[in-house]
Amino acid sequence: MKHYWLQWVKVARLMVGVKDYDAYLSSRRRFDPQAPVMSREDFFRHCQSERYAGKSVKKCPC
């Protein structure tokens, strides 16, 4: 049952543009174990800036 809950959380995060921090860590460690890694907070900010970079809310001139 716990497995399904974790999968749901992962899918929900991806739907709102938040990538999986644990997957990021394992990927970084796999390719370069000595590479610096972002903190969870920095990773979240990075994902948000990637998602919304260059996008602005345009108001309707109506």
The DSSP-derived string for 16-39 is TT---HHHHHHHHHHH-TTS----
Average pLDDT rounded to a whole number, residues 31-38: 91
**Among 13-17, 33-37, 58-62, the range of highest mean pLDDT:** 33-37
| Rounded distance between C-alpha atoms, residue 9 and residue 7, angstroms | 5
Residue-level pLDDT at 57? 53
Rounded CA separation 26/29 (Å): 5
- Asked whether residue 58 carries a pLDDT value surpassing 80, the answer given is no
Q: What share of the chain has pLDDT > 70, as a percent?
A: 79
Half-sphere exposure of 3 (CA within 13 A, CB side): 0
Q: What mean pLDDT do residues 36-55 have?
A: 84
